[in-house]
Structure 1
């Protein structure tokens, strides 16, 4: 489908804002010799139980992502695929895109919400399974591995909050064996900023041999930092290449410059006190009650804060840039 046809189809679904955005990307892409491209691709909307039991017959959905290339030409670039947080795509992603593009690394931001009719999941996380973005990431990897301007051996997955959890999930060998299907492409590295680690899945310590980096603030009141500390320790005990970097006093979305004045989300579902475990047949249980998991569980509280922390943001950006340079080995523009 052409970009015009794609936008017409999305307009018929009432997604005017996305089409306006996509049209703008298209015009800029033409003006800058195809440095930007909106790419639709097929994914599935699976419940967590469907994903955990290995099903690939969920509700089909066509979603889209924005591919940006550092420069025109014919060279093949390393790539970072970016998974957004519960609030959807925001300025924090644009900042990271610019960092990577300046290094000679292409970026692909996946919009996992728009085509599913979701604005954000802050106040109602049940709108979308926690593993849905992992499925989207796998589908995007399989597609972009065939792109003529992308080096399929140098693709990193990076996620934020809910998307950070999905980036960690994507490293699990059990999930890759079932959900990467026939694709031979694999991620070269994984980065998660302030993810939820309080979901325990069977064999979740059997992850890829590729490096994993996790960044979180000690003052995060949205997701529990203790769960990520413990998970990383389990992975290290298995000899995995994983590091956990924490920033004293930093909160949730500490890299989001839009939150220099902290923003309180009074109805956001915060899972600080929860721990969920996978049981038989992919069913998730509340570890404390041994009852099927629900966002109505008493451990789920309302209220969270988003707050920029310049020191943490600067240090995390430096660490990620160094990690990308060492792992993906981009070539700067002459």
Structure 2
């Protein structure tokens, strides 16, 4: 079966630099805003010329940087009449990929980038600041998931006053339990995950989403049986094995005092030399899961961002 993909062309593309911070996990978790300053950039693409203000999806890439699957999603959203802004969280920080070395950058750095991008783009004359969705993949999906925490928003995004209208996280890592993690923004969230993901296992995400739903949050986990990591990445057909890919799949971590992360099992402070860290992960395209996920995301975008199709 051929996978249908709308190849929409942007009427305008702008490269927009913005100031952010490079924070360690501990610095982020205690609310510091005095980390190492950095200028990162993103690419804004608008679906049509004119003066109308568009809804926007801000996209956070995974540990391999901006891949073809992110570009595919851009085209898909543009065809729906939705603008896109892809943040490059790595190049400005001198990083190419974190696949084999997760310690190069704090796990929540892209949350800071997302908040700062939202604050800047909310002022853009062609963007409707009330209709901005955050979407991320793998590492970016993890950051999308936790960008919804009201505690993080209070510490790192309160100054701008801008809010995301929705959150979409693809195959995030849910192995870390943060303080007050069940207190999330009221806006809806959808999590998409494959049951055979051996990089970011689905089980901890099932548990986290279950806790959120028990609190009455508008969150759903959409599971794809047999699908692996990056199941929407057409470049990964056939599957690609990363033998040195670092994974927390067998770790369970929790936030303790003063923003310190601990191994839940050993009660020892966590580091990337922890014995729970393993290497070896597979990424694999799954056409059926990819098609179903695109349809589900399109319906979610239509309901939450209400784009106006091109006449």
Q: State whether TM-score is above 0.5.
A: yes
Q: Tell me, what secondary structure is at the counterpart of 1:181?
A: coil
Q: State how far apart, in whole Å, the 2-side matches of 1:57 and 1:206 are.
A: 25
Q: Tell me, what secondary structure is at the counterpart of 1:323?
A: helix
Aligned twin of 1:139 = 116
1:256 aligns with 2:229: no
Q: State how far apart, in whole Å, the 1-side matches of 2:42 and 2:85 are.
A: 6
1:178 aligns with 2:170: no
Aligned twin of 2:215 = 238
Aligned twin of 2:105 = 128
Q: Tell me, what secondary structure is at the counterpart of 1:130?
A: coil
Deviation at 1:296, TM superposition (A): 1.3
1:167 aligns with 2:119: no
Aligned twin of 1:9 = none
Post-superposition Cα deviations, 1:21-71, rounded to whole Å, max 9, x if no partner, equal: xxxxxxx98xx5xx1000000000000000000000000000000000001
The 4+ residue runs of structure 1 with deviation greater than 2 A are: none
1:306 aligns with 2:283: yes
TM-score, normalised to structure 1, is: 0.90
Q: State how far apart, in whole Å, the 2-side matches of 1:178 and 1:270 are.
A: 28
Q: Tell me, what secondary structure is at the counterpart of 2:301?
A: helix
Deviation at 1:195, TM superposition (A): 0.2
Q: State how far apart, in whole Å, the 1-side matches of 2:183 and 2:63 are.
A: 26
- Structure 2 gaps, min length 5: 1-8
Aligned twin of 2:6 = none
Q: State how far apart, in whole Å, the 2-side matches of 1:52 and 1:254 are.
A: 31
Q: Tell me, what secondary structure is at the counterpart of 2:243?
A: strand
Q: State how far apart, in whole Å, the 2-side matches of 1:269 and 1:188 are.
A: 33
Structure 1 residues 55-134: aligned runs within 5 Å: 55-134=32-111
Aligned twin of 1:22 = none
Q: State how far apart, in whole Å, the 2-side matches of 1:88 and 1:286 are.
A: 28
Q: State how far apart, in whole Å, the 1-side matches of 2:247 and 2:35 are.
A: 28
Q: State how far apart, in whole Å, the 2-side matches of 1:106 and 1:313 are.
A: 21
Q: Flag the structure with higher helix content.
A: 1
Q: State how far apart, in whole Å, the 2-side matches of 1:283 and 1:224 are.
A: 23
- Structure 1 gaps, min length 5: 1-27
Q: Tell me, what secondary structure is at the counterpart of 1:331?
A: coil
1:43 to 16, 20, 23: 20
Deviation at 1:181, TM superposition (A): 3.5
1:272 aligns with 2:249: yes
Deviation at 1:246, TM superposition (A): 0.6
TM-score, normalised to structure 2, is: 0.96
Q: Tell me, what secondary structure is at the counterpart of 2:164?
A: coil
Aligned alpha-carbon RMSD (Å): 1.0
Aligned twin of 1:17 = none
